[in-house]
A and B are shown apart, each in its own frame.
Chain A
């Protein structure tokens, strides 16, 4: 089997992290961990798309402020979102005017950005890199599904796109958990074609990447204090546990899913959250907080992404998915 895992010997560190979420996410179980909760879904702007940009920008400038730095100190911005042509990220990059690479890997963009960023930092090309992703319920809903006011019943296994953004600053200097490994995932497709059941499609990608991580690094589930997936949702997380059990891996209590953690059951969010913002905001609030407090020493984060578009699925294509893993 080919080695898919990078090892960073210079220890690029997460020196700062910022998370911003909408009201619904703020009311969820993780509410107290987030840095900022906005009651206005448009973030004071005229349209939801402009609101998403504002949220994105706030996440990046917030992370920079927390590290007591200026926007000019950023050497590179790695950002991605769910909208066509990456408008949120690119318009934020316009405002910040820093070197920028736009990334798309659906909901796994956060770990893709961290993988690339950690590599740049590790090799000494840049001193300070910002990795940011976000998603917004209203804009994603319009692009992938129906108008907001359209009355349709969702199946109980569907997921709710989170309104959230997160930004992580990477640098060699400073305090914070280090990224030691990154595993680049393969695109996996097990023939799921139900757009509402992305958890089932993405669980196979997450399982594939988990095997690669354990295979390449010789770690196993006992070496980690916690294992997180991005946005499989309740159903996808159950399927992942089953898939791992088949191969003799028992994920147990250590494993949780960022999307599933996002909402309480009574919030009517079906199987939990999805979207690029889920892993980004949970990483920069809950996970980072627990690592800074020393509760977690070693964490595996696998953000998962479904790489379809409405066009491909109308043409009868199945849902390919991917998962990139990082070890903190």
Chain B
């Protein structure tokens, strides 16, 4: 659901919000790279946990209605998706549902990544640069 009206300028505005949201998240991660000696792996985990946190306190859906893919495509969205699934799972199946929900929610993307990686491995080789 988007907060923007269903007119042509509403669509333009929503795309601008996507661009700005995604860009700002990436630029702030880049700031971590420049200002600290954190490795990409640690920065990814920080942003992932940020997403889990946003979902847990319940503001992620509001941000998503503004920024759309701008916040769901960065790793923040992956964290929020995992948390969303875990919360839904717990509310549907009881406390043990929290263990399965996150994986169910994100299984489309992760499954595609594993299978596509396997196929690509069969087709290509690493190249020396």
Which A residues are within 8 Å of any B CB, using their own CB?
22, 24, 41-42, 48, 137-138, 147-149, 152-153, 163, 194
Contacts and interface: CB of A to CB of B under 8 A. Distances in A.
Leading 7 A-B pairs by shortest Cβ distance: A41-B128, A138-B128, A148-B126, A149-B126, A152-B40, A137-B128, A194-B37
B33 interface: yes
A137 B127 CA distance: 11
20 contacts: A22-B128, A24-B129, A41-B127, A41-B128, A42-B128, A48-B128, A137-B128, A137-B129, A138-B126, A138-B128, A147-B126, A148-B126, A148-B127, A148-B128, A148-B129, A149-B126, A149-B127, A152-B40, A153-B33, A163-B128
A175 B126 CA distance: 44
Binding site secondary structure of chain A: loop
Contacts of B127: 41, 148-149
Contacts of A22: 128
B62 to A, nearest CB: 32
A226 B23 CA distance: 50
Which of B33, B127, B128 is the most central at the interface, judged by chain A CB atoms within 10 Å of its CB? B128
Contacts of B126: 138, 147-149
A42 B128 CA distance: 9
Interface residues of B, number: 7
Contacts of A194: 37
Nearest to B37: A194
B68 to A, nearest CB: 24
B60 to A, nearest CB: 27
Contacts of B40: 152
Nearest to A194: B37
A186 B116 CA distance: 50
Nearest to A48: B128
Contacts of B129: 24, 137, 148
A309 to B, nearest CB: 16
B89 to A, nearest CB: 32
Given A41-B128, A137-B129, A149-B126, 7 more contacts: A41-B127, A42-B128, A137-B128, A138-B126, A149-B127, A152-B40, A153-B33
A41 B127 CA distance: 9
Contacts of A147: 126
A197 B117 CA distance: 32
Contacts of A149: 126-127
A153 B38 CA distance: 13
A147 B120 CA distance: 15
B20 to A, nearest CB: 22
Interface string B29-42: 00001000100100
Contacts of B37: 194
A42 B33 CA distance: 33
Nearest to B120: A149
Contacts of B128: 22, 41-42, 48, 137-138, 148, 163
A152 B33 CA distance: 11
Interface in B27-67: 33, 37, 40
A22 B128 CA distance: 10
Contacts of B33: 153
A25 to B, nearest CB: 12
Contacts of A138: 126, 128
A48 B128 CA distance: 9
Nearest to A51: B128
A22 B127 CA distance: 13
Contacts of A163: 128
Contacts of A42: 128
Nearest to A137: B128
A138 B128 CA distance: 6
